[in-house]
Amino acid sequence: MAKLLRSLQDSEIIARFQRRCGLFPAPDESPGAEKSPAADGQDSTGRAASLQVTGGPGIFHLPAWPGKLLEIPSNSLRRRDLEKSFEQKYIVKNYFFYYLFKFSAALGQEVFYITFLPFTYWNIDCYSAKRLIIIWVLVMYIGQVAKDLLKWPRPFSPPVVKLEKRVITEYGMPSTHAMAATAISFTLLISTMDRFQYPFILGLMLAVVFSTLVCLSRIYTGMHTVLDVLGGIFITTILIILTYPSWPLLDSLDSASPLFPVCVLVVPFVLCYNYPVPELYSPTRADTTTIMAAGAGATIGFWMNHFFQLSSEPASSMPMIKSLSTLTTHQMFLGLSRFTVGIVLILGVRQLMQKLSLQVLFSWFKVVTRNKEARRRLEIEVPYKFVTYTSVGLCTTTFVPMLHRFLGLL
């Protein structure tokens, strides 16, 4: 078993998959360059080369790029400089796979979450969306924390070509892309199969195709090993199985006591503020805060809608649409209009709240305005992210539906 696990963590598997899909590293064009063991991704001992960041009691290892084996004091390392040092040229010989997997990778990023999850709530089924958002938040928090606790490295480069610089300093295990894709696709499938009339096999196929594409994109982009991806799928499957019996309780959260919103705000904020501190700055804490805050804001919105009777929702035992085949052109137009109006509003709220929260925090801590490095400080990063995305979540579930009703789009 140990041998199998080690083989699934081998970077050569990722490299071979990339080559079969038409992605190759560009040859070293520097004049007088000679091939060396380090250029093949190995040091003098034959082990995979890595970037070594010294600092504290030990050495922090990151995958190296061709011909680079660096030791940089962690107290002088800036993430922007690290990204620049990781510039890697590559050759694409199959643009179908290139664009397919680049698009699939985007399905596990903020641009997808901030569009698909609201769309589900506004146009598909508010009850299914509640379950989807809460399970997504739970799965992603566990996955993000697991990365910084396990501290397993990402695939080595060379031989792997890496297409994403933003997550260079993140650890690999588990793949949160794989976790999110599995959680979203199968939670939506399980939640809607009793509320809509559609062939279950069709829904299952769509869920499998969606999650498979996202998982393969993490291998194609060189950001995860096969073991990282399988680990993410396994953890999510276990979480879905364990939480499934409590899913009906999620529908009743909106009728909880008036103290419920306080708990929803305090608990996620404390969890984010006490997030495991990595040796080198990475976007995991910021991303985790974004997810937790969006979930908190959306959950408070569910509660407000019920407590203040701001919206009328369909009975939980009655589907919103009896059959997907009954969709008309008018309904599709209304759905597109609701989505357009809603996205414009929440993007505006995000921009406004981010600007206001940063101005307040910069003034409070006497930080120079527009100091991007200061945004990464714990006392600034967590509060501004939390305020911004709590507002986005609340706007999505409460104020956007109110605007839809005012504009006659319901």
User: What are the distances in angstroms from CA 39 to CA 27, 209, 258, 296?
Assistant: 11, 37, 62, 47
- Angle value at C-alpha 268, between 259 and 164, nearest 5 degrees: 155
- The DSSP symbol for 375 reads G
Q: What is the pLDDT of residue 133?
A: 92
- Catalytic, 306? Answer no
Euclidean distance between CA atoms 376 and 378, whole angstroms = 6
The one catalytic residue in 224, 306, 330, 404 is: 224
Q: Exposed/middle/buried for 333, CB within 10 Å: 0-12, 13-18, 19+?
A: exposed
Q: What is the pLDDT of residue 126?
A: 84
Euclidean distance between CA atoms 348 and 306, whole angstroms = 25
Question: 29 falls in which pLDDT band (50, 70, 90)?
Answer: low
Q: DSSP states of 137-185 as a string?
A: HHHHHHHHHHHHHH-PPPPPTTTS----STTTTS--SS-HHHHHHHHHH
In tens, the pLDDT along 312-331 reads 554 443 344 445 556 678 88
Euclidean distance between CA atoms 385 and 286, whole angstroms = 7
Q: What is the pLDDT of residue 151?
A: 85
In tens, the pLDDT along 12-24 reads 899 899 999 988 8
In tens, the pLDDT along 268-280 reads 999 999 988 767 7
In tens, the pLDDT along 278-301 reads 677 778 888 999 999 999 999 999
In tens, the pLDDT along 152-198 reads 888 887 788 888 877 777 888 899 999 999 999 999 999 888 888 88
Q: What average pLDDT does range 374-387 have in this prediction?
A: 88
Q: What is the pLDDT of residue 326?
A: 64
Identify whether the C-beta of residue 63 lies closer than 8 Å to the C-beta of residue 156: yes
Q: What average pLDDT does range 73-78 have in this prediction?
A: 42
The one catalytic residue in 177, 306, 330, 404 is: 177
For the cut 90, the answer to whether the pLDDT of residue 343 exceeds it is: yes
User: What are the distances in angstroms from CA 160 to CA 17, 19, 26, 104?
Assistant: 10, 10, 12, 19
Q: Where are the domains of the chain?
A: 97-319+330-406
Q: What is the pLDDT of residue 339?
A: 93
For the cut 80, the answer to whether the pLDDT of residue 48 exceeds it is: no
Q: What is the pLDDT of residue 59?
A: 36
Euclidean distance between CA atoms 72 and 69, whole angstroms = 10
Identify whether the C-beta of residue 166 lies closer than 8 Å to the C-beta of residue 284: no
**What value does the mean pLDDT of the chain take?**
79
Helices 378-394 and 329-364: crossing angle in degrees, nearest 10, is 150
Q: What is the pLDDT of residue 181?
A: 94
Which residue would you say has higher pLDDT here, 268 or 38? 268
Which tokens hold the place of 103? Answer: 């698009």
Question: 216 falls in which pLDDT band (50, 70, 90)?
Answer: very high
Q: What average pLDDT does range 372-381 have in this prediction?
A: 83
Euclidean distance between CA atoms 115 and 358, whole angstroms = 24
Q: Which of 224-233, 309-318, 343-352, 398-407 has the lowest average pLDDT?
A: 309-318
Q: Which of 113-117, 246-250, 327-331 has the lowest average pLDDT?
A: 327-331
